[in-house]
Each structure stands twice: as structure tokens, then as C-alpha cells.
Amino acid sequence: MQKFLLVLAVLVIIGIVARIAIGFFSANLVATGLVTTDSNTAALSGCDNLQNCTASTATTKRNKIAPLDYSVAASEVIEKFSRLIASQPGTQIVGQEANYLHATFKTTLLGYTDDLELLLDESTGILNVRSASRIGKSDLGANRKRIEALRAMAQDASI
């Protein structure tokens, strides 16, 4: 029993040290939230040239993904996506407005937080999306997979 507790304590310490080290050596902390462009319109924060971010507004091939499609009225889009996202395990809706949604996803294994943002541009009918890891230099494709899974769930839910 004592050996088990000792091994367990060592594993906990290793996990804590690993989380601290990853945070310390991670240069790519990713900003979230809306930014204002030169034309005084809202846009999602950029993520070009980061390996832990995927966005429909990105200009680099590595980071670029198609905006999300929707078939419901524009006035319902954010609310419907909010319900869909909130139904997923480990998620929390952090902020929501008529044309903007910010949700967080907590990873199961190490408890890291990733951010997902949606921004509806009603004038063009485009629902921009951005998903980024808060720490780490690479997300191993997790943010792209998250967006594609959300796209599939939205299609299945007829959003």
C-alpha cells in the first residue's frame, strides 16, 4: 500500500511539473476575443503562422479552414450553435452576443483549455470560426478536428 501511495505521489508531482514546464516553454499564447479592423468592423483575432490555431479568417494554408455553413435564419444562428456546443462534454459558453459566441473546451487528459469563437457577418452571410489552444506550440490538429466535428454536428442538427 505504501509503495502504491509513493508511486501515486510521484506521478502527481510529474504531472504538475509537466504542466508548469509546458506553460513555461510555450511561446504561443493565443489571444481571444473580437478585434476592430481599420474599417471599424468586428473581426476574430488572428492566428496566422501559429501551429495551435485554426480559423476561417486565416490567410496561411496551415491555419485556414472554411467558415461554418448554416441554413437557419441569421437571427437564430448563434443561439443554435450555442446549444449545440454547450451539449458537448467539457465545454462552457463564456460569452454570447447576437453575432458572437466564445466557448471553452477543457481537454480530458491534462485539463488544458482551448477557445472556440464564432462571429456572424450578416452582411455576407458568413459564420467565421476560430479555435485555438491557449498554450503550447502545437495542437496536433485538435482545433481543426474540433471545427470539422462542429460542422458535422451542425449539419446533422440542420442548423
The set of residues, in sequence order, having a beta carbon less than 8 Å from that of 148 and lying 6+ positions away, is 65
* pTM of the predicted structure, to 2 decimals: 0.76
Confirm or reject CATH 3.30.310.80 for domain 29-156, answering yes or no: yes
Distance CA 132, CA 32 (A): 8
Domain range annotation of the chain: 29-156
Distance CA 57, CA 121 (A): 12
Which of 84, 99, 104 lies closest to 44 in space, CA to CA?
A: 99
Q: What is the pLDDT along the chain (159 residues), one digit of tens a residue?
A: 777 666 656 665 665 555 544 444 444 444 555 554 444 467 888 888 788 999 999 999 999 999 999 999 999 999 999 999 999 999 999 999 999 999 999 977 777 889 999 999 988 999 999 999 988 888 888 899 999 999 999 999 999
